[in-house]
């Protein structure tokens, strides 16, 4: 697939809030979004001491939901959150199962692999490339690309998968990197990208990361402004690269941290919070826990956004319109999934607009 600097690669867990956010994007923004979909394992039932679903039950709805929420638009698919030993009932690999189902519905999914995945995963990737001819994506950490042998290792893995370097999307994933001091990290990434011809040879170079808080417990009521350090890094990186060097495509983890939250949900009391993306930051407003105090408090949390002077005008995004509507009592207060799609949808819209402004489109 052809990806440019005007496109955006959000890393999204394939959950209801995230795919509802994608579904509600308008067409002008959808065509600049190539989500990196991370398939999540079944949730653990602490009371029963077992997974709530089998792997087959967890993965079975994927293809039809992808068709309904994203259609045949391009996306990346990564199964790294599943256990390497996970298999479908007939013994097939989960990646193969997911790609087969999505392919039957016309999806364009590029499989994501890495430098140290297991043989069964690699075999599934090879089979997909032979069928679809869409190439592959290789997801690497900053530590991996900083290794002196990175280029050699990368070319070896790609060669073993039977793919030309020009058919590879290289995803450099900073994940939840410590972005301070920012200037030093920009200098490091810039130097690495100019250190080897391989970065020019790949089909697309993509840089993702996140500085979103690892725990919402770190945010104290009534909220705070959290800098989007990955976006600040990206803008500085683009400015630092020499003329003629094509900047990487930007990606992040939207309004989430890089990890899946863990713990017994019976003991957790999530607070009412609105995650609202603004210039270079997130405005996070926060109330008290919804189990004891209900969802009606979301109207006040949306009011906090409006009164901040940072709310976007009507029509900016489906997510920001919902915030305005909830505050004005024309929308329901929803539930936690509602506020996931609201924040994610608005964030994706904002980033696409940010990229258009940065590159003068």
pLDDT digits (tens, 9 = 90+) for 165-192: 999 999 999 998 899 999 999 999 999 9
Q: Where are the domains of the chain?
A: 8-264
- pLDDT on residue 44: 72
- pLDDT on residue 2: 84
Report d(CA 228, CA 232) in Å as an integer.
6
Mean of pLDDT values over 196-212 = 97
Q: What is the pLDDT of residues 208-237, one digit of tens each?
A: 999 999 988 889 999 999 999 999 999 999
- pLDDT on residue 24: 98
CATH fold group of domain 8-264: TIM Barrel (3.20.20)
Q: What is the 3-state secondary structure (H, E, C) of the chain?
A: CCCCCCCEEEEEECCHHHHHHHHCCCHHHHCCECCEEECCCCCEECCCCEECCCHHHHHCCHHHHHHHHCCCCEEEEECCCCCCCCCCCCCCCHHHHHHHHHHHCCCEEEEEECCCCCHHHHHHHHHHHHHHCCCEEEEEEHHHHHCCCHHHHHHHHHHHCCCCHHHEEEEEECCCCCCCCHHHHHHHHHHHHCCCCHHHHCCEEEEEECCCCCCHHHCCCCEEEEECHHHHHHHHHHHHCCCCCCCCEEEECCCCCCCCCCCCCCCCCCEEEEEEEECCEEEEEEEEEHHHHCCCCHHHHHHHHHHCCCCCCCCCCHHHHHHHHHHCCCCCCCCHHHHHHHHHHHHHHHHHHHHHHHCCC
- pLDDT on residue 1: 66
For residue 358, what are the CA distances in angstroms to 179, 249, 341, 361?
A: 21, 12, 25, 8
Nearest Cα to Cα of residue 234 among 245, 243, 247: 247
- pLDDT on residue 263: 60
pTM for the structure as a whole = 0.96
> pLDDT-derived band of residue 65, with 50, 70 and 90 as boundaries?
very high
> pLDDT-derived band of residue 300, with 50, 70 and 90 as boundaries?
very high
> pLDDT-derived band of residue 260, with 50, 70 and 90 as boundaries?
confident
- pLDDT on residue 59: 97
Above 60 in pLDDT, residue 71? yes
């Amino acid at each position: 697939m052809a990806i440019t600097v005007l496109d955006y690669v959000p890393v999204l867990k394939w959950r209801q809030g995230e795919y509802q956010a994608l579904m509600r994007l308008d067409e002008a923004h959808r065509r600049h979004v190539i989500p990196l979909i991370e398939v999540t394992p079944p949730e653990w039932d602490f009371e029963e001491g077992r997974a709530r679903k089998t792997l087959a039950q967890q993965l079975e709805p994927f293809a039809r939901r992808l068709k309904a929420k994203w259609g045949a638009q391009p996306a990346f698919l990564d199964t790294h959150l599943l256990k390497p030993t996970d298999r479908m009932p007939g013994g097939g690999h989960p990646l193969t199962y997911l790609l087969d189902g999505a392919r039957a519905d016309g999806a364009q999914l590029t499989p994501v692999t890495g430098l140290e995945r297991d043989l069964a995963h690699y075999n599934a990737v090879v089979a997909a490339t032979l069928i679809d001819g869409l190439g592959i994506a290789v997801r690497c950490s900053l530590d991996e690309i900083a290794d002196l042998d990175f280029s050699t290792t990368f070319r070896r893995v790609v060669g073993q998968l039977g793919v030309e370097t020009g058919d590879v999307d290289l995803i450099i994933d900073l994940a939840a990197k410590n972005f301070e001091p920012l200037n030093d990290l920009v200098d490091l990434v810039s130097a690495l990208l100019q250190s080897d011809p391989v970065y020019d040879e790949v089909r697309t170079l993509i840089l993702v990361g996140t500085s979103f808080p690892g725990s919402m417990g770190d945010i104290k009521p009534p909220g705070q402004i959290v800098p989007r350090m990955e976006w600040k890094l990206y803008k500085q990186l683009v400015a630092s690269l020499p003329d003629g060097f094509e900047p990487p495509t930007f990606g992040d983890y939207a309004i989430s941290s890089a990890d899946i939250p863990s713990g017994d949900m019976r003991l957790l009391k999530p607070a009412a919070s609105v995650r609202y993306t603004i210039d270079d930051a997130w405005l996070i407003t926060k109330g008290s826990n919804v189990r004891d105090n209900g969802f009606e408090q979301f109207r006040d949390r949306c009011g906090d956004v409006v009164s901040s002077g940072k709310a976007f005008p009507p029509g900016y995004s489906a997510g920001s319109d919902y915030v305005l509507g909830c505050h004005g009592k024309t929308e329901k207060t929803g539930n936690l999934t509602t506020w996931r799609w609201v924040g994610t949808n608005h964030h994706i819209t904002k980033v696409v607009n940010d990229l258009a402004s940065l590159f003068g489109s």
